[in-house]
Homo-oligomer: A and B are copies of this chain.
Amino acid sequence: MQELKEAIARDGVCIGQDIVKVDMFLNHRIDTGLMFRMGEELAKRFADAKPDLILTVEASGIALALTTARAMGDVPVLFAKKAATVVQSPDVAQASVYSFTHKRENIIRVDKKFLPKGSRVLIVDDFLADGQACQGMMALCAQTGCEVIGIGIGIEKGFMPGGKNIRAMGVNIQSLAVVTGIEDGKILLADD
């Protein structure tokens, strides 16, 4: 997606050899117009998939999941939670996810009643790097008997193994921009 690639090139900040910081428009400050156009583009790419719901994980996946859901005709969004609450349902599906950014293990949880057996689920997240979050969400779907009909991603780090590993399972991943590497402090982007 050209507009997203331009935003990454203009506002993305490299930290070391493997971190791309895009908090100017994606996961701290949100460029509202761009976020909606990203959702419209993901909706186009999964137009034939007819998901019953979109699954994401808090917090930074929520915005793209919601704009995609809007563009797909207001399908519901379910966001997996990372912290147990005092009002948690006793009937949850959960999976363990290591966060590359926060350097810690998180448990992600959904109330099973919101992932009814047999649902067609589109997973959406802002980033795909080592694939931990997506594989965690796939595990939630497996536990509840739901079918993952695809994965929509804002920015994929093509130099990390997540995308390759999950595509090898036969899952259709659509990434709106792919960062292929960082060279001399410059973010390299794949052609569309």
Interface residues, chain A, with chain B CB atoms under 8 Å away = 15, 19, 21, 23-24, 28-33, 35-36, 53, 58-60, 62-63, 66-67, 69-70, 74-79, 81, 83-87, 101-103, 110-111, 114
Q: Could you list 9 examples of A-B contacts with CB < 8 Å?
A: A15-B87, A23-B111, A23-B114, A28-B79, A29-B114, A30-B69, A30-B79, A58-B58, A66-B66
Within the complex, the shortest CB–CB distance from A35 to chain B, in Å, comes to 7
Q: Is the interface of A mostly helix, strand, loop or mixed?
A: mixed
**Residue of B with least CB distance to A104:** B83
**Residue of B with least CB distance to A30:** B77
How many copies of the chain does the oligomer comprise?
2
Known: A32-B74, A32-B75. 11 other contacts (CB 8 A): A19-B86, A28-B79, A28-B111, A29-B76, A30-B66, A32-B69, A32-B70, A62-B63, A63-B66, A66-B67, A87-B101
Within the complex, the shortest CB–CB distance from A124 to chain B, in Å, comes to 12
Within the complex, the shortest CB–CB distance from A60 to chain B, in Å, comes to 8
Alpha-carbon gap, A136 to B66, bound state (A): 26
Alpha-carbon gap, A85 to B86, bound state (A): 25
Residues of chain B with a CB closer than 8 A to A103's CB: 86
Residues of chain B with a CB closer than 8 A to A69's CB: 30, 32
Q: Are B74 and A33 in contact (CB under 8 A)?
A: yes
Alpha-carbon gap, A114 to B31, bound state (A): 12
**Residue of B with least CB distance to A85:** B101
**Residue of B with least CB distance to A66:** B63
Interface centre among A59, A75, A83, A102 (most CB of B within 10 A): A59
